[in-house]
Amino acid sequence: MTIESQAISYVPETIEIPRMPGRPRHELPALACDTHCHVFGPYDRFPLQHASSYAAPDAPAERYLTMLDTLGAQRGVLVQPAPYGTNPAALLDALARGRGRLRGAAVADASVSDAELQNMADAGVRALRFVEARDPAGRLFPGSVGFEQVAALAPRMRQFGLHAQLWGPSDVYAQHLPSLVRLGLPLVIDHMGSLAPARGYADAVFQLLRAQLAEGTIWMKLSVCRVGTAPDYADVKPLHDAFVAANPDQVVWGSDWPYVRMGENAPAADALIDLAWDWLGTDALRQKVWVDNPARLYGF
């Protein structure tokens, strides 16, 4: 079942306060959406289901909503992090606190019931997240559901209006994406496909992702902080611009707050917004990426 009632609960011994943004220099368009953030805690109510491989952030719903308000983003999408496994309680609580301004990407495996899927969809969940990151022994990160489970879940995901959100090292897309697109399910690629900018346009994975984006079989999340080099991310700009040009109707923007695994190197979300504002270049494109595209994808 999805709610991991038999799982061991973990209350982190050390909790980090995430970096909070300032006000961006540029004002986001009305109904702008940050499509990639996470909530953690409060841990006395929502303990982790798996020991975390990174420092646990103090990022409950209230702090997250304050972060959105500071950015001037009226909408947001929360992605369930791996340490919560398939227990969506913290995510669902945050969606309820959002009072209609939030949507979610939860985690479930093939054992999930129709009733659980219906409950999540009713609460604002619009996707299931699949992660193909593995340790050196080839084991999935604890709490993750791998790409191989998408096919089994696809019929019921279509039934409940859910798309698949995919994250993994760049090379796994070459292995899995051709079969996944044949499922006919909307696919959203996290963090610009985890590309290595040094490979440039010649990278076969970049070519695959750009071609599928141009054909409309995938969506792309433009979250540059997981791909490029701070502070100006100049190395990833050519890839960013190529994705936007390939299909400006199927790209969305995400900050990735609260920046797990980044520690003192965590960026300021307001700086990322100002960077995206400059890179997108026109009000028409900003409207698509921040408002129209996420509204269509997440059903706002």
Task: Specify whether the CB–CB gap between 90 and 283 falls below 8 A.
Answer: no
- How far from 155 is each of 59, 158, 159, 219, 285, CA to CA, in Å? 34, 5, 6, 19, 33
Break the chain down into helix, strand, coil percent, rounded to 5.
Answer: 40, 15, 40
Measured at the CA of 218, the angle between CA 248 and CA 168, to 5 degrees, comes to: 115
Copy the structure tokens of residue 279.
């890179």
**pLDDT of 7:** 54
The alpha carbon of 225 is separated from its chain's Cα centroid by a whole number of angstroms, namely 13
**187-189 and 125-131 strand pairing:** unpaired
Backbone angles phi, psi at 188, to 5 degrees: -115, 125
Partnered with residue 189 across adjacent β-strands are 166, 220
The model's pTM is: 0.95
Q: What residues contact residue 221 under an 8 Å CB cut-off, 6+ apart?
A: 35, 36, 188, 189, 190, 191, 192, 251, 252, 253, 254
**pLDDT of 52:** 82
Backbone angles phi, psi at 152, to 5 degrees: -65, -35
**pLDDT of 171:** 95
**pLDDT of 9:** 82
The string over 263-293, giving b where at least 16 C-beta atoms fall within 10 Å of a residue's C-beta and e elsewhere, is eeebbbbbbbbebbbebbeeeeebbbbbbbb
Beta strands in the chain (DSSP E): 15-16, 33-37, 56-57, 75-79, 102-106, 125-131, 163-167, 187-189, 218-222, 251-253
User: Per residue of the chain (300 residues), what is the pLDDT tens digit?
Assistant: 444 444 568 788 789 999 999 999 999 999 999 999 999 999 999 999 988 878 899 999 999 999 999 999 999 999 999 999 999 999 999 999 999 999 999 999 999 999 999 999 999 999 999 999 887 888 888 889 999 999 999 999 999 999 999 999 999 999 999 999 999 999 999 999 999 999 999 999 999 999 999 999 999 999 999 999 999 999 999 999 999 999 999 999 999 999 999 988 999 999 999 999 999 999 999 999 999 999 999 999
Candidates 3.20.20.140, 3.40.250.10, 3.40.50.720, 3.40.50.920; CATH matching 30-298: 3.20.20.140
- 97 sits in which H/E element: helix 89-98
Q: What residues does each domain of the chain span?
A: 30-298
**pLDDT of 10:** 79
Output the CA torsion sign for 88, 83, 256, 73. Answer: positive
Beta strands in 140-297 (DSSP E): 163-167, 187-189, 218-222, 251-253
